[in-house]
Amino acid sequence: MKKLFIQGTDLIPEIILEPGTWQLSISGTSAPEDVRSLYYPVTEWVTEMVDHLIANPASAGKNGVTMSFDLKYFNSSSGKFFHDIFVELARLRNAGGKLEVKWLYDDDDQDMLEAGQDMADLAELEFTYIPK
């Protein structure tokens, strides 16, 4: 697997998917005009990672996978793709893989906190909520 890096802009979040260390992050604002072209490679990468780690659990190392979401805003179309990512991560966790999902939010942004809680509930995952 190759590293996937997407430079952030005003409407596109910075996305870093790092093989080997299994550190994944999405940060910034997610309101792209073409959400599919942005997130299809991301969901494909996550699916490939999950398949690899299920088949080769030792390659996850002692820390497993860490996924960090640090978003200022995301639109509903982005949310659908986030859900797809979380469903894949749940597949890894259900196969016994170690996983930590960090949901960072501005301390005064209760909407973003609730969005993370909703995502966790829908995907049946536990998130660590980190106020900034």
pLDDT band at 115, cuts 50/70/90?
very high
What is the DSSP secondary-structure string of 69-131? EEEEEE-HHHHHHHHHHHHHHHHHHHTT--EEEEEEE-TT-HHHHHHHHHHHHHHT--EEEEE
Whole-number pLDDT of residue 62: 84
pLDDT at 68 over 90: yes
Interval 74-98 mean pLDDT = 96
Indicate the pTM of the whole model.
Answer: 0.94
State residue 35's pLDDT score: 97
* Torsion of Cα atoms, 37 then 40 then 118 then 5, to 10°: -90
At 96 the pLDDT is: 94
Q: Report whether 100 contacts 75 (CB < 8 A).
A: no
Mean pLDDT score, 21-43: 97
The phi and psi torsions of 61 (rounded to 5 degrees) equal 70, -175
pLDDT of residue 1: 87
pLDDT at 63 over 90: no
Which CB contacts under 8 angstroms, 24+ apart, belong to 36-45?
38/6, 38/12, 39/78, 39/81, 39/84, 41/4, 42/4, 42/6, 42/15, 42/17, 42/81, 42/85, 43/81, 43/84, 43/85, 43/88, 45/1, 45/4, 45/17
Instruction: Could you please state the CATH topology (level 3) that the domain comprising 15-27+38-131 is classified under.
Output: Transcription Regulator spoIIAA (3.30.750)
Mean pLDDT across the stretch 110-125?
97
Question: CB–CB of 78/116 below 8 Å?
Answer: no
49's tokens:
């990672």
